[in-house]
Amino acid sequence: MARKFIAVLGGGISGYGSAILAKKQGFDVLLSDMGVIAPRYRERLDEWGVEYEEGRHSVERILTASEVIKSPGIPDKAPIVKALREKGVPVISEMEFACRYMGKAKTICITGSNGKTTTTSLIYKIMKDSGANVALGGNIGESFAYSVATAEYDWYVLELSSFQLDGMFRFKADIGVLMNITPDHLDRYDYSFEKYAQSKMRITQNQTTSDYFVYSADDETILRQLEECEIKAKELPFMIDNYITSKSGDAHPAEGEKFVAKVGENSLTIDISRLQIKGKHNTYNAMAAVLATLAAGVEPEQIEKSLYDFAAIEHRLEPVGTKNGIEYINDSKATNVDSAWYALESMTRPTVWIVGGTDKGASYAPLFDLARKKVHTMICMGVDNKRLEESFADIVPNIISCHTFEDAMQAVVRSARKGDTVLLSPACASFDLFKSYEHRGREFKQWITENILNK
């Protein structure tokens, strides 16, 4: 009997891991990438004897696959994906494939428009510090599929994008965490916020009464979605502004600058002022992490210790340094309007705001009030800045349009003055001038360090 043939589309971290797991499970495998596969991934594919191709898709062969694992960055509108759908070939995500082979391990899965990377990193740290046999995967860390292929874990902490959720059908989160739902990636959802919101709610699919669903009760979109969805899992809401009770537990503000979190019989009180990650958005992140790890059975004392130890992650309101009274902050991970809103909301000094990149189609209107109050100069950094310039023309007194990174940095030098904050929080994707938001953030940090801080 012939072995099943699996095709993997995309040779990034998701694709190479999926291909190696498929090979280990005895499938015939072809990894196909229209671009160039990074050398470190090629080396591992070679080690495992996985067949791969670069710069093309062997369409006729791929269409013969019994199943196709698609990397999240490839849109459903791509010709190869359309052809597969028309032929009825199942197209799934790395998460859907890898979960079949993870044995008795459990998952904590985190999604949301914003905050998911910080929350995922925090949950992973708490679990790791507690002594749990845990792996980090999804959008950050190692490939989930590669971890399943090469080791055995008891827990997987997975950051999931809406694109990954779209390719998950039988997968189940033992503990699902939904941070928020705000407009993002609408270009991938026919510019329909409702379709995007429904995609995020897939975090609850297949959950049973023995599972947990952690969510923000301050997010009106989530509350509306809950009215339309049947949630079987035990609900664990967290909130600052609203008050919603759940018999399973919740997290809410306490007297003073504190919050209380409770799951079942276990509870703890967190002093917000002792957290190294600041701002209202990080209080939400901490609340979600505490509820998820309490649900996973971590002792309250361990959670508290890990929480206070946790420092800011790279590219998320990351301090770069201060020189001549001007502070520089790297928030390159703010690839959408809502992320930039949280960054601007946390600014306490006059701000030079670096913004721009690949526009995602969302309205910039939510940023107007904060920009009007806090930003004296907006530096647009992108190939096409027209929509940003028009949107903020009557909001920010000084708008400088730059089409290269170097021009933007020179504009920073001319515009920033003592007492200011220079904030890179683009509200856009990075792919016009940079390879990724990480590339953008590191270029910014390197330039500021070499040309300002070290001079």
More confident residue, 348 or 158: 158
- 3-state SS assignment for residue 358: strand
Query: Is the pLDDT at 39 greater than 70, yes or no?
Result: yes
Query: What does the mean pLDDT of the chain come to?
Result: 91
Alpha carbons within 13 A on the beta-carbon side of 444? 33
**Neighbour count for residue 105 (Cβ, 10 Å):** 18
Kindly list the structural domains of the chain, giving each domain's residue range(s) and its CATH number in brackets, ordered by start: 5-92 (3.40.50.720), 98-309 (3.40.1190.10), 318-453 (3.90.190.20)
More confident residue, 106 or 363: 106
**Residue 314 near residue 441 (C-beta atoms within 8 A):** yes
In this prediction the pTM is 0.75
* 279-320 pLDDT per residue, tens: 888 899 999 999 999 999 999 999 999 999 998 778 888 888
Residue 163: which of 193, 118, 202, 108 has the closest Cα? 202
Query: Is the pLDDT at 194 greater than 80, yes or no?
Result: no
Residues of the chain above pLDDT 70, percent: 98
pLDDT at 189: 61
Q: Which of 14-18, 76-80, 205-209, 311-315 has the lowest mean pLDDT?
A: 311-315
Give DSSP secondary structure letters for 255-303.
TTTEEEEEETTEEEEEEGGG-SS-SHHHHHHHHHHHHHHHHTT--HHHH
pLDDT at 395: 96
